[in-house]
Amino acid sequence: MINITSLSKTFNSKVHAVADFSLHINKGEVISLIGPSGSGKSTVLRCIAGLEQPDKGQILIKGKEINYKSPASQKERTVMGFVFQHFNLFNNMTVLDNLTLAPINVLGKSKQEAEELAMTYLKRVGMADKANEYPAKLSGGQKQRAAIARSLCMQPEIMLFDEPTSALDPEMVKEVLNVIRELISEGLTTVIVTHEMNFAREISDRIGFMENGQLIECNTPEYIFNQTQNQRIRDFLEKVL
């Protein structure tokens, strides 16, 4: 589903955010990226989604390299849904309008089709009663659930989650994780950047540990948490668990 080869990304010609990152992700597989802050996890995700242009390397989605510089590739990228750390809802639009914007303008759906689709996914995340509310009236957990529903309205084959709970109060984390857990149970190909170690251990097929822009190791949760011989990974897990 996703094949990343020798991906590199530098900011301001000095900061090497990602260095020679390679990873193959199969259809239906769940990959969690963990590691210290600033290790390049989110940059990898943003490169996959086309929000950042890699300096080097290749990213294939379903066997096809997407030209991220071309506006024509926008529709091809709709196979991916992206959920941001800080929700990125439009505050001047209702929840329903936030969800219907892209299906209408990118997928060419009618307003009625888009609204029916939006209500289907709002119900799925327990937010149907908030369709006509503005984001300012929502809790953090509600905003993130609305953001997940917005991504699902594009009916993606791949979901990318960039630290979806890190901006939430602790009591709101569980409701968002439950929504993600349900999506994963349905076989949606997923890449998630997270600091929720127990959640990563529970839902992942493989876990990748990153540091200094490099993928240090990628293996099963059992191996990463209990068997790895990499001392840096062991030190990291001792501090966060």
Mean pLDDT of 203-216: 96
Using the predicted structure, report yes or no on whether residue 74 has a pLDDT greater than 80: no
Class of domain 2-240: alpha beta
- In this prediction, residue 106 has a pLDDT band, given cuts at 50, 70 and 90, of confident
Query: What's the confidence (pLDDT) of residue 66?
Result: 72
Residue closest to 100 by CA, chosen among 81, 119, 114, 116: 114
Residue closest to 137 by CA, chosen among 179, 101, 173, 92: 92
pLDDT in tens, 31-63: 999 999 999 999 999 999 988 989 999 999 988
Query: For residues 141 and 172, what is the distance between their CA atoms, to the nearest angstrom?
Result: 5
| Residue 62, SS3 per DSSP | coil
What is the overall mean pLDDT for the chain?
A: 91
- In this prediction, residue 17 has a pLDDT band, given cuts at 50, 70 and 90, of very high
> How many CB atoms lie under 10 A from the CB of residue 115?
18
Query: What's the confidence (pLDDT) of residue 14?
Result: 74
Query: For residues 165 and 176, what is the distance between their CA atoms, to the nearest angstrom?
Result: 7
The strands making up 64-65's β-sheet, listed across from edge to edge, are 15-25, 2-11, 56-61, 64-65
Query: For residues 38 and 212, what is the distance between their CA atoms, to the nearest angstrom?
Result: 7
3-state secondary structure 127-158: CHHHCCCCHHHCCHHHHHHHHHHHHHCCCCCE
Share of the chain above pLDDT 70, in %: 96
- In this prediction, residue 12 has a pLDDT band, given cuts at 50, 70 and 90, of confident
Query: What's the confidence (pLDDT) of residue 16?
Result: 83
Provide the β-strand partners of residue 10.
16
**CA pseudo-torsion sign 88, 99, 29, 124:** positive
Query: What's the confidence (pLDDT) of residue 79?
Result: 86
pLDDT in tens, 114-143: 999 999 999 999 999 999 999 999 999 999
Query: What's the confidence (pLDDT) of residue 15?
Result: 74
Contact 18, 174 (CB under 8 A): no
- Within 8 A by CB and 6+ apart from 95, the residues are 89, 122, 127, 130, 131, 132, 133, 134, 135, 138, 146
Contact 58, 65 (CB under 8 A): yes
Mean pLDDT of 202-211: 96
- In this prediction, residue 70 has a pLDDT band, given cuts at 50, 70 and 90, of low
Mean pLDDT of 191-210: 95
